[in-house]
Structure 1
Amino acid sequence: MKDKLQVLSGAMMIPVILLVVAGVFIGLGSAFANMENVSALGLSGLIQEGSFINVFFKVINDLGFMVMRYLPIFFVTGISFGLSKKEKGWGALGGVVLFIGMHTVINTLLSAHGISSDTVTAEAFMKSGLSEVEAYSRSSLYGSFLGIFSYDCSIFGAIIAGFVASTIHNKFVDTELPSALSFFSGPRSSMIMMFIAAIVLGTTMYFIWPPVGLALSKLGNWIGSSGLLGTFTFGAMDKALLPFGIHHLIAFPIEYTRVGGTMEVGGAIYEGVNNIRLAQMGDPDTLSYITRNFTTGRLLIHFAILPAAALAMYKLSDNVNKKKAMSILIPAIVTAMLVGVTEPIEYTFLFVAPLLYFVVYVPLAGLTYVFTEMFNVSIMGESFRNMFPNLLQPQKVDALPLLFLIPIFFVVTYVIFTWAIKKFDIKTPGRSSEEVKLYSKKEYRERQSGESVKAIANDAGEDKDTELVYSIIEGLGGSGNIKNITNCATRLRVELNSIDGFYEDGFWVNELGASGVVRKKNSVQVIFGPRVITIASKIKVVLGVD
């Protein structure tokens, strides 16, 4: 079950990439499409209302909002693509067919029961006797997508449809039919099944979505009313689930669905804190970003807690090992600051001192979210890669509290980590005669189960030639041993025919520059960081798979 959740978690990151691009387009476009922003930037003489430059940036802005408008389609496409084991293009098409078919069936059933867009307004529900709160909650269950009046399942519906579509596709993709029907053999047979599945899924959703949707609204209301307790719980759980590879499953609903709340921005309703902030970025009337966004706390993790932990490790390393410790800690911290990838250093103290991770680091992570919310920090992005929009619309940003929050969290973390490392003689990088190294997720799990552990060295080398690709294939036991290969934001995920052909961890880390390795029966995960997307793409080209 956990393996399936990890695969689903990785697949959900595929469409999230579009949101990163959309954020850049909205940030850039709204800055120069809105004449008030243009005037604030002192560019009124260069950019006039209706000029070519102004219209160009309006196009850029609208393209960014296009992603927001059709987000469910992108999610069902990305998830069904990511979860399909072969013929991924057909799998993605099947996801779209099933998703639209599901809404078509729901629309037909609603119409058959006399339910239309006119009968589900808040006013109509209040006339029927519901309270205002109940009426608006009930009305929020309905919506229109691609011109189809249906339930507003949004991204939840897309996830369900993508998962179901990929399951059907994987089951029927190799189906062989009699010669008279051979045209529909193979992946085409899965398309037939999508239409049948649309009837089943649409009918099922027709009955189960109202209670599910209302439950999600109540959960969102609880999160909204739980105050700092809910904020702390989210921040702590986000890091506590990291070792299990399913932390996206708690962050995703908050960031992209109604669980994270809804807000009207520019006359349209947006769900999820990330979608709301992107909409605010493109709205000229928005004065500041929402402060309860469940992401700003990561700024303190990337710029205060992890650098302080790294400094404590460096300071307490043996003198003879200080240069080596610095050479592996600095790249890990720079990576966290630049792109938000934190696994290399987090897994190091997770392995050498699990209590340090769960008893100290996890609560500290939860507190970062609490304090940024308490001091009303409103800013886009949690690492340098996605902070660019702040430079173009500084009037929407309130980041001054970070000037004292970052130093405070840095000092507190440094003191706690220094004390803990000394008190319990924790063998952080450079504190023993052994090789100076970072540790992987796989080693942490081996330590927990009592198995022997091999130390691995960190290498931040980049993929610059095809030799790396062929070395990876060799390390996986050859092309014939590879059953399926996918990736998430940082990990190469591979299903093997046999784990026996998989090379030892030292090969992956010392020779290929991976940060760590995770094994689970015949499934492996190799942590390469953000460059894994390029690596996976090149491997698929060599293997001749999509």
Structure 2
Amino acid sequence: MFGFLQKIGKSLMFPIATLPAAALLLRLGQDDVLGIPFMSAAGAGIIDNLAIIFAIGIAMGLAHDGSGGAALAGAIAYLVLTSAIVTINETINMGVFAGIISGIIAGLLYNKFYNVKFPQWLAFFGGRRFVPIITAAVMTVLAGVLGFAWPPIQEAIDGAGDWILNAGMFGVGAYGFLNRLLLPTGLHHVINTIVWFDFGTFTTASGEVVRGEINRFLRGDPTAGPFLSGFFPIMMFGLPAACLAMYVAAKKERKALVGGMFFSIGFTSFLTGITEPIEFTFMFLSPMLYVVHALLTGVSMMVAYALDIHHGFGFSAGAIDYVLNFGLATNPLILLVMGLFVGVIYFVIFYFLIIKLDLKTPGREDEDEDAENADSGNNAIDVRAYNTIEALGGADNIVATEYCTTRLRMTLKDSALVDEKALKRHGAMGVMKINKTNVQVVIGTAVEFLGDAMKPRVANGNPAPETGTDTPVVAQTASAEPAMKEIIAKDFEMPIDGKIIPLSEVPDDVFAKEMMGPGFAILPSGNILYSPVDGRVVSVFPTKHAIGIETDTGIEILIHVGLDTVKLDGEGFELFVEQGQLVQRGDKLLKLDLKFLDANAPSLATPVIFTNLTEQKVIVLKDGHQQQGTHSILKIE
């Protein structure tokens, strides 16, 4: 259920991504700005149809391949449900819940029936064509059920919404606290959707009824905004001040390393209200700080409510939305004064707790932590699988073993039984405990082989390997390595046309915090990926999105095209090489369908990671846009 709710929360980001465009058009078209009615109408076209947009976006997000067939099924599900249900009870108005329910059912039905096969005479209706058909049938039955079941459910939802809306400071404070507290799980999107798009009603001058805090604020409801206003001081001032506190508290020798990262993510939070890059820097390293952050968010919401501030956003509470919606707000200037106080409070509390409790925020990690991060790539995979299972609490503690490109995604009975130090001794690059039963172990490019080796072992109770249980899997000694892992600057070439960016700007914690190793990232503009070095292809992922190369001096390089591209099942990629093949600089590795990838992946950022450098540093010599084949872009020392 936790994993399923995570998927729904993630899928909600598809339709929510349309809100900035809607808010911009709706606001700019108002009489007090540009006074262009058709612009407001264009924005209202999105806001007023969020339910069907949710149905389409959620269905597509839940589909295993993000197919447009699932999106069509989502739209059909919504149309059938909303058209049929009012014939039973014409007073029913499910709002965005109709879209959410339709999208979930359509996505699940797509995954169930997308490859169904029929006899030859019915073959035309098989596969993806059958999904809209079965979806229409299921939603017809569901409409009949909900026609009688939904009114009491809606009464309960409206009652909860009225209680929260009328609970004053306590209601907005509780929402602000839960909003941040649920962020690590992705479930904050679920409660946001209810508050932003369903709670409360407002009747416009034209007689149209709109629901939800964001919709009501953008359409001129003077009572809307209390559930949005308090976020501005946190995102524009509080979290940037937290970045400053973490920078000041960092070890002197590491300040230069983390300073650029803190500035970029702090400025991003101030300008756009995108806070996850900051929150994920201390969320798992220092959970206490994160709880303090959630509490301060709740307090900020309560103070803004007490000061009668009504401000809102279409995307997030950054400076862009603050300025854009200034004309609709009540007492917006007080938010700036309040923000300065919030910034001071964040800095003092974060700095005090970090120093007093010796919290391991970025720049304060123990020196020996990296030394424990063993490279066991040359050890028997069976022995490593045995040791990994034991470090996870044994086979009896493991419920399910899954993996993505770089991480084991473990479902356990009790995550408290996990031995993090043992996992790192046996090759793990990082461990993230999501909750009491979910743990992610960052392995690197060998995760596929390790995960496949673990599954039969878990099923058989993890018997001791034939080599014996006392065969240690430890870091390789210097004698087992080549004399020197090095790449001469001129021997490493830019693998694709694109813009070089630091790893810290990659919107994925595993890459940004160098859990897999140092390197850089590229925002590709070209569509052909070439080998940057002479070497051997040591891994080609079945989904084609990532390729590992080993140089003749023993350096292992992972090129990972985009984020979450593993879910595309190879679509958007054309492979030119195979595992074990020798390659030279400039040899073609992969062809990219940039248009498809941009539309279906969260980010095109392509990390280039040096996965087995334990002592040397990667220094990037060039930045900005570089042509494929450009050399001397980095050095290793």
TM-score (norm 1): 0.70
Q: CA deviation at 1:87?
A: 7.1
Q: Which of 516, 524, 528 is residue 464 of structure 1 equivalent to?
A: 524
Q: Does the CA contact (< 8 Å) of 2:200 and 2:213 recur in 1?
A: yes
SS of the residue corresponding to residue 109 of structure 1 reads coil
Query: Would the aligned equivalents of 1:347 and 1:444 in 2 still touch at CA under 8 Å?
Result: no
1:511 maps to: none
Aligned match of 1:425: 358
Q: Distance in 2 between matches of 1:271 and 1:105?
A: 22
**Distance apart, 1:343 and its partner CA:** 2.1
2:241–2:347 CA contact under 8 A, matched in 1: yes
| Cα separation, 2, equivalents of 1:229 and 1:401 | 21
Q: In the TM superposition, what is the alpha-carbon distance from 1:218 to its structure 2 partner? A: 0.4
From the superposition, tell whether residues 95 and 291 of structure 1 become closer, same or farther in structure 2 (CA, over 3 Å).
closer
Alpha-carbon distance in structure 2 between the residues aligned to 1:386 and 1:436? 41
CA distance in 2, matches of 1:66, 1:350: 38
Do 2:236 and 2:273's aligned partners in 1 also have CA atoms closer than 8 Å?
Answer: no
| Equivalent in 143, 151, 160 of residue 219 of structure 1 | 160
Q: 1:395 to 1:210 in 2, by over 3 A?
A: closer
The answer for the alignment partner of 1:342 in structure 2 is 275
Deviations 1:417-470 (CA, angstroms, capped at 9, x unpaired): 122112112232223564999xxxx89999974424636995225513458989
Return the alpha-carbon distance in structure 2 between the equivalents of residues 462 and 377 of structure 1. 42
Kept after mapping to 2: 8 A contact 1:25/1:63: yes
Correspondence 1:477 to 2:541: yes
Please, which runs of 5 or more residues in structure 2 have no aligned partner?
371-406, 431-441, 443-501, 506-520, 532-537, 547-561, 570-596, 606-637
* Structure 2 SS opposite 1:463: strand
Equivalent-residue separation in structure 2 for 1:476 and 1:378 (angstroms): 53
Report what 2:147 is aligned to.
206
Equivalent residue in structure 2 for 1:234, among 147, 161, 175: 175
Q: Could you list the per-position Cα deviations for residues 347-369 of structure 1 after superposition, in whole angstroms to 9, with x for gaps in the alignment?
A: 222223212222x2221111111
Secondary structure of 1:263's partner? strand
- C-alpha deviation, 1:532, in angstroms: 7.8
* Residue 300 (structure 1) aligned with residue 240 (structure 2): no
After superposition, the Cα gap between the structure-2 partners of 1:395 and 1:215, relative to the gap in structure 1 and judged at 3 Å, is closer
Change over 3 Å in CA distance of 1:206–1:476 after alignment to 2? farther
The match for 1:366 among 268, 273, 298 is: 298
Determine whether 1:170 maps to 2:170: no
1:403 is displaced (CA, Å) by 3.1
Q: Which amino acid aligns with 1:338?
A: L
Corresponding residue for residue 20 of structure 1: 20
Match of 1:189 in 2: 130
2:340 matched to which residue of 1?
A: 407
Residue pairs, 1:70-149, within 5 angstroms:
70-86=49-65, 88-110=67-89, 142=91
Is 1:273 matched up with 2:213?
A: yes
> Post-superposition shift, 1:235?
0.6
CA 1:403–1:538 in structure 2 vs 1: closer, same or farther (change >3 Å)? closer
Q: 1:174–1:185: 8 Å Cα contact kept in structure 2? A: yes
Contact (CA 8 Å) 2:214, 2:312: kept in 1 or not?
no
Structure 1 gap ranges (5+): 39-53, 111-115, 117-141, 143-150, 281-285, 483-489, 498-530, 540-546
1:72 deviation in Å?
Answer: 1.5
Matches within 5 A, 1:373-412: 373-381=305-313, 382-390=317-325, 394=327, 396-412=329-345
Hey, what's the Cα distance between the residues in 2 that align with 1:177 and 1:190? 13
Q: CA offset at residue 373 of structure 1?
A: 1.5
Cα distance in 1 for partners of 2:217, 2:369 equals 42
Counterpart of 1:261 (choices 182, 186, 200) is 200
Q: Deviations over 1:43-89 (max 9, x none)?
A: xxxxxxxxxxx6xx211111111112222121111111222224722
Matches of 2:15 and 2:328 in 1, distance apart? 30
Corresponding position: 1:180 with 2:121: yes
- Pairwise CA distance, 1:299: 1.2
State the distance in 2 between where 1:323 and 1:192 align: 59
* Superposed CA offset, 1:92-115 (max 9, x none): 1112222221233323334xxxxx
The code of the aligned residue for 1:459 comes to S
Q: Aligned in 2, Cα 1:289/1:184: closer, same or farther, shift over 3 Å?
A: same
SS of match in other structure, 2:133: helix
Report the AA paired with residue 87 of structure 2: T
Residues 536, 68 of structure 1: alpha-carbon distance in 2 compared, 3 angstrom cutoff: closer
What's the offset of the Cα at 1:333?
A: 0.6
Shift of 1:227: 1.2
Does residue 320 of structure 1 match 2:253?
yes
Residue 202 of structure 1 and its aligned partner are, at CA, apart by: 0.7
Q: 1:63 pairs with 39, 42, 45, which one?
A: 42
Q: Look up the SS of the partner of 2:77 in the other structure.
A: helix
For 1:60, give the aligned amino acid. Answer: M
Asked if the contact 2:311/2:332 (under 8 Å) is kept, the reply is yes
> Does the residue aligned with 2:524 lie in a helix, a strand or coil?
coil
- Which structure dedicates a bigger proportion of its chain to helix? 1
Q: Distance in 1 between matches of 2:319 and 2:140?
A: 46
User: In angstroms, what is the RMSD of aligned CA positions?
Assistant: 3.5
Q: Structure 1, residues 294-335: CA drift from partner, whole Å, max 9, x if none?
A: 222221111222122112122222233222221111111112
The separation in 2 between residues aligned to 1:189 and 1:535, in whole angstroms, is 26
Tell me, in whole angstroms, the C-alpha distance in 2 between the residues paired with 1:427 and 1:17. Answer: 34
2:261, 2:216 → 1: CA distance?
38
Q: What secondary structure does 1:275 align onto?
A: helix
Name the larger-Rg structure.
2
**For the residues of structure 2 that align with 1:405 and 1:252, how far apart are their CA atoms?**
27
Q: Return the offset for 1:156.
A: 0.3
Q: Structure 2 vs 1, CA of residues 4 and 493 (structure 1 numbering), >3 Å: closer, same or farther?
A: farther
Q: Secondary structure at the match of 1:295?
A: helix
CA distance in 1 between partners of 2:311 and 2:369 (Å): 37
Distance apart, 1:169 and its partner CA: 1.8
Cα displacement string for residues 488-528 of structure 1 (whole angstroms, at most 9, x for unaligned residues): xx97374599xxxxxxxxxxxxxxxxxxxxxxxxxxxxxxx
Question: Conserved in 2, the CA contact under 8 Å of 1:324 and 1:436?
Answer: no
Separation in structure 2 between the aligned mates of residue 476 and residue 356 of structure 1, nearest angstrom? 40
- Go from structure 1 to structure 2 and tell me whether the alpha carbon gap of 1:16 and 1:475 turns closer, same or farther (over 3 Å shift): farther
- Matched letter for residue 290 of structure 1: A
Higher relative contact order (CA 8 A, sep 6+): 1
Identity rate of aligned residues, in percent? 27
* SS, match of residue 523 in structure 2: coil
Output the CA distance in 2 between the equivalents of 1:428 and 1:468.
38
Whose strand proportion is higher, 1 or 2? 2
Aligned equivalents of 1:210 and 1:464: distance in 2? 51
Contact 2:65/2:567 (8 A) holds in 1: no
What number of residue pairs does the alignment pair up? 424
| 2:3 corresponds to | 3
Tell me the amino acid that sits aligned with residue 224 of structure 1: L
Residue pair 1:26, 1:62 contacting (<8 A) in 2 also: yes
Q: In 1, distance between residues paired with 2:122 and 2:360?
A: 66
Q: Deviations over 1:250-269 (max 9, x none)?
A: 21100011xx2112232322
Q: Which amino acid aligns with 1:228?
A: M
